Structure 1
Amino acid sequence: MIRRMAEDRKEEVRRATDVVALVQRYLPLRRSGRSWSACCPFHQERTPSFHVWPETQRWKCFSCSRSGDAFAFLMEKEGVEFPEALRMLAREAGISLDPPDPAAAAAAKAKDAAYGAAAFACRWFQGNLKGSPGAAYLKSRGLTGETALEWRLGYAPPGWDGLLQAARGEGIPEAALEAAGLVVPRRGGDGFYDRFRDRVIFPIADTTGRVVGFGARALGDEQPKYLNSPDSAVFQKGRLLFGLDRAREEASKARTLCVMEGYMDVIMSHQHGVRTAVAGLGTAFTQEHAALMRRFADRIVLVYDADAAGKNAADRALGVLLEADLDARVAVLPEGKDPCDLLVLRGPGPLLESLAAAREVFEHLLAGTAARHDL
């Protein structure tokens, strides 16, 4: 019975969605006989080979062979799985997908509240940035104000309950803040305090651009230097890549992603026009990371720092990428330079040269062996 109800809801959403109108939100379509056509949004081309048929509510690219319905288009374009595509189209059509199970309904409601709390916190952190120590730090690293605004960067002030009090003023419950990883229960069990204090805030988004967590850099001597949101119902660091929401469109065209180590490496790369840059979230590469990247790219270029830790991280990531049948390569940077510093000091030229000359796996391993044995 439940399965039948789910199928009925899916068909209701499908019937309520005009695939032509959906596609036109992402690219300009031109009438071409019984179909609408455009250059394919999923690869680079000059002659339009992408067609949408209003009669069948289907689309197909005759060059790259991708095809499907409204759900498939949204999954490809936004990089989401089917359940999320269904929810997105249902919301637009005004169709309720409330699960019949009360427990599942309560969990879904709590998850939505956590997303709302994360969105509020992002705005609050961003509002604190101007004139703050966080703004001074970002400026010292070479970021422009336009870049800080584009990436929704922010600042968490030193107090213990700034965000907590602001959220209360907006009627956001503590349970939603806790579910989003924004506050920590006090040891005595009496209330909460802010997780992020006196830190530069880097919002972390899913592939649709929805904020699901935060990375935070300490400005003083507090440890750890970088602190991420804890895993939760809305944030799983083993399944997310920083910057992918901004890199996915260019990556889909070039079929390439450049994986770096840090937030600043990624943001500075985008500021200098390298718009395929993403980064992990301080955790080892997983099969989920590889599967996520395969949605947008066939070639993965690892751009790790030129120190021993960076080289070891690249070697570990290579195994996961090769197992996922991805074309993995390693870009070698000048010794002692990370991508951010290299871009600030010398502009995009040296980084672009390193990316173009990225080593294939065998060449990289051979060079590492030669260096260890001083050959």
Structure 2
Amino acid sequence: MTLSPQFLDELRARTLLSGLIGKTTKLQKAGREWRACCPFHNEKTPSFYVNDDKGFYHCFGCSAHGDAIRWMTDQRGLPFMDAVKELAQAAGMEMPAMDPRAAEKAEAAKGLHEACADAAAWFSEQLNGLPGATAREVLAKRGIKAETSRAFGLGFAPDSRGGLKAALKGYGDPLLVEAGLLIQVEDKAPYDRFRGRLMIPIRDPRGRTVAFGGRIIGDGEPKYLNSPETPLFDKGRTLYNLDKAAPATRKTGRVLVVEGYMDVIALAQAGFGEAVAPLGTALTEAQLERLWRLAEVPILCFDGDGAGQKAALRAAHRALPLLAPGRSLAFVTLPQGQDPDDMVRQKGPAAFEALLKTAEPLVDRLWSSELAAEPLATPEQKAGLKQRLKERAESIADPGVRTEYLAEFRRRFDALYAQQRAAFVPRAPFTPRGGGARKPGQPWKAPPGPVGAGAKRLQQHGIDGVLTKPVLAGLLLHPTEICRHMGELGRLHLTDPALAHLLDAMIDSAVEHPALDSEHLLTILAASGFDIIAQDLLRADQLSCSFTQKDADPARAREDLDEAIAILVTRPEVDAALAEATATMQANYSDDAYERQVSLVNEQQALNARLANLVQSNEDARAFSTEGN
């Protein structure tokens, strides 16, 4: 019977760990977790915690740690396969079909585990004996203490083609080749894979050695050599030091991701036991999923050189489609040319801890990288920046997170080019009288209001009156956009009750039928009594834009509708904040309140500019009113 990692991951995901453990252990709610007196040792004060979100239990008293399967084997005493069968039956999952070769494969895996464990022991003996003198000097120069070396099981592979082969000859050459310990070239005799290298055991989450990383001693290439993929070792799903970092992360609430083995080892020696590393490749989706089971926002601490920062950016791009509420990344930029190992040795743990506190959110890293990707001197280059940001955000699968990223990138883009956009507004941005804040004791005076034909229309009808009907008409014509903007539309507070009820019905219909087309939506609305108001919206010519025209370019219509919704949602929020700031100024003047008021007035003006730009960018559009024609 073959149990794939995917099957076991699905089994764990379908098993509510607190429900399983709660059958035999009395649990008490403790925030987002459950706690109890540990069932693995006698205690009076609860130190045993169960985390359903991350799918593990941990005891701070005896260090018992595991998932649902581990609970069944350690606490219930079931064999592994029996534990899986019982959990699968409870979760309603079919066990994989019997495979005649599965038993042979499982038996072979036992031999591979034993061979890797014996290889690790032999490498350790070599490091601590006469052959390992040079390797010990290398460790001493890097500041690695003997106890740290023992904790990580470091070893040494002598520069010999047959040393390990002879030491483990009882396993036979075929098994040692399968374990990645020997190299077989055609029909020639196998020989040791690792020679003249500092050996670093790679362990699975249960602490079993499954592979090795070897660092060259002296000159030679490659600098690092990893085991090949074997039945025990899947490079893309393995994180170095995960077995030790998982319990450390439980205490610190964070997980650090660094580039290499020695970074992990140096950080652990400096007190940062929650560090892991990918194995010479970019972070994979499987590795990201493992990290998110440890912490909601893993911190990437890649090297400060160009290669390290490119690796961090690749991880950011790879993480985007997988983002969800409570799942992101953060980034620490190390000084140029330094890695975490260098930093903790040269500047100490306190300096590294201070650096961690400056971690940059994922959205900031994406924004800064796209901003620096190319010059922004021409309209085409600025449009390119906008398009790249949009594409990054739209790669996010979760609709809520995607909507927030689109809105955030749009806000930052608009703020960056606020002055240029203000050219479309028939007045200058508001600044304090005389170029400075009002002096205490001066009578308060409201900031100047908008002027001009379009702005008069805005004053008379407000953003709601100008944009609501066109946006609703656009959504009627392009109903697939409703789900894309679900978060933004949910923030709308329409002043017209009939339009508000119509929008609610449209959202309900889109949720129930995500692939809805315009004709189907209108049919559903008609059945609910909204046919007249919907048809009136489609006939109205309140504001002619691409998204209200049936024959418009779909990409253009989508982009314009994005902008219109953003303005419609944001402007009332800015207006409310400005009203509050104005009331504060009238009641009790302060420079801070005055500066906030000025800021909000300028933000209000920027939104007016965006609306004017939206209208002007449509060739057949009218201005805000016919007065300006």
TM-score by length of 1: 0.77
Please name the residue that 2:176 is paired with.
177
Deviation at 1:111, TM superposition (A): 1.3
Residues in 2 aligned to 1:335 and 1:253: alpha-carbon distance in whole angstroms: 31
Aligned residues: 328
Say if 1:132 and 1:155, in contact at 8 Å, map to a contact too: no
Q: Quick check: 1:133 aligned with 2:134?
A: yes
- Structure 1 362/256 Cα, relative in aligned 2: closer, same or farther at 3 Å? same
Residue 192 of structure 1: which of 186, 190, 193 is its match?
190
Residues in 2 aligned to 1:53 and 1:140: alpha-carbon distance in whole angstroms: 43
Please name the residue that 2:288 is paired with.
290
Residues in 2 aligned to 1:85 and 1:236: alpha-carbon distance in whole angstroms: 24
Deviation at 1:105, TM superposition (A): 0.8
Q: Quick check: 1:365 aligned with 2:366?
A: yes
Please name the residue that 1:105 is paired with.
103
SS class of match (1:299) = coil
Residues in 2 aligned to 1:63 and 1:125: alpha-carbon distance in whole angstroms: 37
Residue 35 of structure 2: which of 47, 50, 54 is its match?
50
Say if 2:156 and 2:198, in contact at 8 Å, map to a contact too: yes
SS class of match (1:128) = helix
- Structure 1 64/201 Cα, relative in aligned 2: closer, same or farther at 3 Å? closer
For structure 1, the residue ranges without an aligned partner over 5 or more in a row are 4-18, 24-33, 44-48, 55-59
Tell me which amino acid in the other structure corresponds to 1:136: E
Deviation at 1:348, TM superposition (A): 0.7
Residue 212 of structure 1: which of 198, 210, 216 is its match?
210
Residues in 2 aligned to 1:269 and 1:72: alpha-carbon distance in whole angstroms: 24
Tell me which amino acid in the other structure corresponds to 2:148: T
Residue 306 of structure 1: which of 304, 307, 327 is its match?
304
SS class of match (2:111) = helix
User: Which deviates more from structure 2 when the two are superposed, residues 194-203 or residues 93-102?
Assistant: 93-102
Q: How does 1:29-108 map to 2 (within 5 A)?
A: 36=26, 49-51=34-36, 66=52, 73=57, 78=65, 82=69, 88-89=73-74, 92-93=77-78, 101-108=99-106
Residues in 1 aligned to 2:212 and 2:67: alpha-carbon distance in whole angstroms: 20
Deviations 1:214-254 (Å, cap 9, x if unpaired)?
Answer: 00011132211110000110001100001111110121343
SS class of match (2:101) = helix
Tell me which amino acid in the other structure corresponds to 1:176: L
- Structure 1 218/360 Cα, relative in aligned 2: closer, same or farther at 3 Å? same
Tell me which amino acid in the other structure corresponds to 1:278: V
Q: Quick check: 1:145 aligned with 2:131?
A: no
Deviation at 1:268, TM superposition (A): 0.4
Deviation at 1:255, TM superposition (A): 3.5
Residues in 2 aligned to 1:224 and 1:79: alpha-carbon distance in whole angstroms: 36
Using CA pairs below 8 Å that are at least 6 residues apart, which structure has the higher relative contact order?
Answer: 1
Cα-Cα RMSD: 3.7
TM-score by length of 2: 0.47
Residues in 1 aligned to 2:25 and 2:185: alpha-carbon distance in whole angstroms: 61
Say if 1:115 and 1:211, in contact at 8 Å, map to a contact too: yes
Residues in 2 aligned to 1:296 and 1:254: alpha-carbon distance in whole angstroms: 11
SS class of match (2:298) = strand
Deviation at 1:196, TM superposition (A): 0.1
Q: How does 1:199-278 map to 2 (within 5 A)?
A: 199-278=197-276
- Structure 1 173/346 Cα, relative in aligned 2: closer, same or farther at 3 Å? same
For structure 2, the residue ranges without an aligned partner over 5 or more in a row are 3-16, 40-45, 59-63, 86-96, 377-629
Deviation at 1:319, TM superposition (A): 2.3
Tell me which amino acid in the other structure corresponds to 1:51: A
Please name the residue that 1:328 is paired with.
329
Please name the residue that 2:114 is paired with.
116
SS class of match (1:203) = strand
Residues in 2 aligned to 1:298 and 1:110: alpha-carbon distance in whole angstroms: 37
Please name the residue that 1:165 is paired with.
166
Deviation at 1:212, TM superposition (A): 0.5
Say if 1:80 and 1:207, in contact at 8 Å, map to a contact too: no
**Structure whose CA Rg is larger:** 2
Deviation at 1:37, TM superposition (A): 6.1
Deviations 1:108-165 (Å, cap 9, x if unpaired)?
Answer: 1111111111000000001111242211111111100010000000000001000000
Deviation at 1:191, TM superposition (A): 2.2
Tell me which amino acid in the other structure corresponds to 2:250: S
- Structure 1 95/79 Cα, relative in aligned 2: closer, same or farther at 3 Å? closer
Deviations 1:54-73 (Å, cap 9, x if unpaired)?
Answer: 9xxxxx999987399xx975
Residues in 2 aligned to 1:200 and 1:316: alpha-carbon distance in whole angstroms: 29
Please name the residue that 1:318 is paired with.
316
